[in-house]
């Protein structure tokens, strides 16, 4: 993956801004009163409608092959599951717990990406993964009252890792906004089927004015705009690098949670120790990897 330094820098900035917006989704999820599944149903509906209006205004051609549509449609089921698990984790624990659990995205990507691409898992990635596991273990030990929320958060991260790897391949063949549009449609259809089967379309689906405002922000800025931006950078950045930067989401999100909810977001010392281990592993990884890459290149360069 070879791109100009300016393109890489621009896409890194876009990704950081996108991750900050994603960090804010946790705040909105805690503020919206309806269930996690109903919340995501509205979120995805607003998101793909806003994307469709954007396509109509820009006269974007939406036609894709049936094979491509089916791939994106079924990937949408994983996207929808990720969001439902994410918001249910918040409602079962706190924004801080959920966002730190989402950091395990790096662990899952480090394992799954080389396996799916038939590559060897490096020792550095195994070490990073073990550090993340130890941090998660600490959080489990000290925040056992949030066990359900932690499990949901980890499962949400697994789903995010899977669709991130899928999208890193899809982006090579089609535009990010097209990928996002069809995956959002897929997510909405699968969630609709689930709600219909479980009698989820009931009186509790009715929104008050505050929930509606939050959902519009969530569906447009935090979903359609941010999701397209998050997918588009994959043309320039690897899925693992995207996963690493995405792990700034808990940092941004925890800061925002303190600003919005104060004492409600205060955790035990064990939680912060576990979070520190996870985030340290995530941020140290790229520096070590770059250093090893430089050494490898210097060894292969011919002597002049």
Compute the chain's Rg from CA coordinates.
20
Q: Measured between alpha carbons, how far is residue 77 from residues 171, 186, 233, 291 in Å? A: 18, 6, 22, 38
304, part of any domain: no
99, part of any domain: yes
Q: Write the burial class of residue 268 (CB in 10 Å: 0-12 exposed, 13-18 middle, 19+ buried).
A: middle
Q: Which domain holds residue 129?
A: 5-299
**Which pLDDT score is estimated for 304?**
40
Of 199, 198, 215, 190, nearest in space to 34 by CA: 215
Tell whether pTM > 0.85: no
163, part of any domain: yes
Number of domains in the chain: 1
Tens digits of residue pLDDT in 32-43: 989 999 999 999
Tens digits of residue pLDDT in 228-284: 787 778 777 776 677 677 767 778 888 888 888 887 777 788 888 988 888 888 778
Tens digits of residue pLDDT in 157-175: 999 989 888 888 887 778 7
Decide which of 84 and 303 is more confident. 84
Averaged pLDDT for residues 121-137: 82
Backbone angles phi, psi at 171, to 5 degrees: -65, -20
10, part of any domain: yes
Contact 266, 143 (CB under 8 A): no
Neighbours of 244 (CB within 10 A): 23
**Which pLDDT score is estimated for 2?**
55
Query: C-alpha 35: how far from its chain's center?
Result: 20
């Amino acid at each position: 993956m070879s791109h100009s330094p300016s393109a890489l820098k621009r896409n890194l900035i876009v990704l950081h801004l996108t991750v900050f917006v994603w960090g804010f989704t946790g705040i909105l999820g805690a503020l919206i009163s309806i269930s996690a599944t109903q919340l995501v149903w509205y979120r995805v509906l607003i998101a793909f409608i806003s994307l469709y209006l954007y396509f109509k205004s820009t006269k974007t051609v939406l036609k894709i092959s049936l094979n491509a549509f089916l791939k994106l449609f079924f990937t949408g089921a994983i996207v929808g599951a990720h969001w439902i698990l994410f918001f249910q984790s918040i409602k079962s624990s706190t924004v801080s717990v959920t966002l730190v659990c989402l950091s395990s995205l790096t662990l899952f990507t480090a394992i799954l990406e080389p396996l799916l691409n038939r590559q060897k898992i490096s020792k550095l990635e195994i070490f990073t993964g073990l550090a993340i596991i130890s941090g998660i273990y600490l959080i489990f030990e000290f925040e056992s009252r949030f066990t359900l929320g932690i499990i949901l958060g980890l499962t949400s991260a697994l789903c995010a890792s899977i669709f991130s790897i899928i999208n890193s391949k899809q982006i090579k063949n089609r535009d990010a906004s097209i990928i996002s549009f069809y995956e959002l449609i897929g997510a909405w259809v699968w969630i609709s089927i689930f709600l219909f089967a479980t009698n989820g379309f009931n009186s509790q689906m009715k929104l008050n004015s505050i929930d509606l405002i939050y959902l519009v922000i969530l569906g447009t800025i935090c979903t359609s705009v941010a999701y397209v931006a998050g997918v588009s950078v994959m043309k320039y950045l690897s899925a693992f690098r995207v996963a690493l930067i995405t792990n700034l989401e808990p940092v941004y999100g925890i800061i925002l949670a303190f600003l919005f909810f104060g004492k409600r977001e205060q955790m035990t010392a064990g939680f912060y120790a576990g979070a520190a281990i996870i985030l340290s592993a995530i941020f140290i990884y790229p520096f070590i990897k770059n250093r090893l890459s430089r050494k490898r290149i210097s060894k292969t360069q011919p002597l002049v």
